Amino acid sequence: MFQRKIMTDLVEWKKNGAKKCLLVKGARQIGKTFIIREFAKQNYECIIELNFLTEPKHKKFFNGSLDMNSIIENITSQIQNTVFKKGKTLLYLDEIQECGQARTALKFIAEANKCDCIASGSMLGVAYKQITSIPVGYEEQLEMFSMDFEEFIWANGYGENATSVIKAYYDKKEKVPNEIHEHWLRLLRTYMIVGGMPSVVTEYVNTHNFGEVHKEQERILASYLDDIGKYAPASEKPKVRACYQSIPTQLAKENKKFQFAVVEKGANSRKFETSLEWLKDAGLIKFCYNVTTPVFPLIAYNQTGYFKVYGSDIGILTAMYGFEMKGAILDNTIKGAVKGGIYESLIADILLKKRKPLNYYKPSENRHEIEFLLTDKTEVIPLEVKSNNGSTTSLNEFIKEFKTPYALKFIAGNIGEAETKLTLPLYLAMFL
């Protein structure tokens, strides 16, 4: 079993009384069902699991009245040895997007307080129209992602002691010994190739065969395209598919702002913006918004029409470039704008899985760009990503103009400090 950080969130939810139903959302095949089952085995005497995708017959439990007594009668008439007892029983509603009435019923399940309840789903953002009433105030939402770099390290046999050793260099701002530094760079590049999808990580851990890894990634990509065919509105299907398949090209440009003309020559936002929103709601992409003014709170200055798009898993993104990209990443032989796009996507992947909002700063087309903006309390911190040990003109300009207390530069090189600018190896981004 892979160690997943979200287990801590699940335990905390139960520890706090599980007063609301917990809704775990995220893209398909990131390990939601597995980790919830493991949590249930460790914390409950009775587990009632209903999967509305594999067992459509379970939808009938939520036909008619949605009061808790009716739900209990419907379930216990069909499933033996079920006991509803608060704190001892978990009702797990998997693929809840397939049953809108079950989503509505979360309100009545929470009000009755006769059991703990977790629901999970992969297409919740695109299936909301099937729901009679969203249970606002009765569900607590938790977004889940594929495995992050640290979880990938653990899956490969490195214990928390190994990461604590490398973190000591981060905390003390001391250079990492060269042999250790090169080892962690290779681990990071391996993560860029494999990513965090549990089935892909399993394939890598068991075989270390990148050909088999790529086959599994291609299977996942095919399933995502199948989901577009199943869930997207008929008029949107080809546009959603075209937008998703354009992401590698979008990130290979010098200016990585999402351009609709890359999807289709001469196209504009009017034609494709709904398709992009569908991909976001399905958990397949994340937006990184340009801000007009880099001051706290950044969300107040988002330019909703000026954004970059990143995939939700770095390994799936690199697989979209083809099998040959794996060797180029591992050997560090990528060149040109595509290299910058992949390394930006790596940092976006790390930030995303820390549930940090993605923002960047590019005041005009002829000005330099700051790849990411973070916040430290009420201060805005610029973060620049360099695939090589290049100059930092944009970061220097930003520091001078906005008097930032400190700035971050992530590179393939080692740790260094110059006044307020801190340079860090890319793999240390996991400790942000």
What are the beta bridge partners of residue 143? 25
> Would you state the structure tokens that stand for residue 332, as one six-digit string?
């560090």
Residue entry with tokens 């597995």 = 34
DSSP string, 248-267: HHHHTSSS-S--HHHHSTT-
**Using 50, 70 and 90 to split pLDDT, how confident is the model at 132?**
low
Please work out, in degrees rounded to the nearest 5, the angle formed at the alpha carbon of residue 340 by the alpha carbons of 328 and 146. Answer: 75
Whether the pTM exceeds 0.85: the reply is yes
Structure letter (DSSP) for residue 58: G
pLDDT confidence tier of residue 1, bands split at 50, 70 and 90: confident
Share of the chain above pLDDT 90, in %: 85
In the numeric block, which tokens belong to residue 212?
A: 């088999």
Crossing angle of helices 210-231 and 178-194, rounded to 10°: 40
The position carrying tokens 């954004």 is: 307
Task: Check residue 137 and give its pLDDT.
Answer: 82
CB neighbour list of residue 285: distance below 8 Å, 6 or more residues apart: 244, 247, 276, 279, 309, 310, 311, 312
Residue 129 has a pLDDT of: 47
Q: What is the CATH number of domain 6-143?
A: 3.40.50.300
Three-state SS for 304? strand
Q: How many CB atoms lie within 10 A of CB 10?
A: 22
Q: Would you state the pLDDT for residue 209?
A: 98
Q: Which of 130-144, 158-172, 188-202, 415-429 has the lowest mean pLDDT?
A: 130-144
DSSP state of 361: B
Mean pLDDT of 257-285: 93
pLDDT at residue 125 in the model: 66
Looking at residue 160, its pLDDT comes to 83
- Distance in angstroms (rounded) separating the CA atoms of residues 379 and 382: 10
Locate tokens 């560090």: which residue? 332
The percent of residues in the chain predicted with pLDDT above 70, rounded, is 97
The bridge status of strand 421-425 relative to strand 416-418 is: antiparallel
Q: Where in the chain is the domain with CATH 3.40.50.300?
A: 6-143
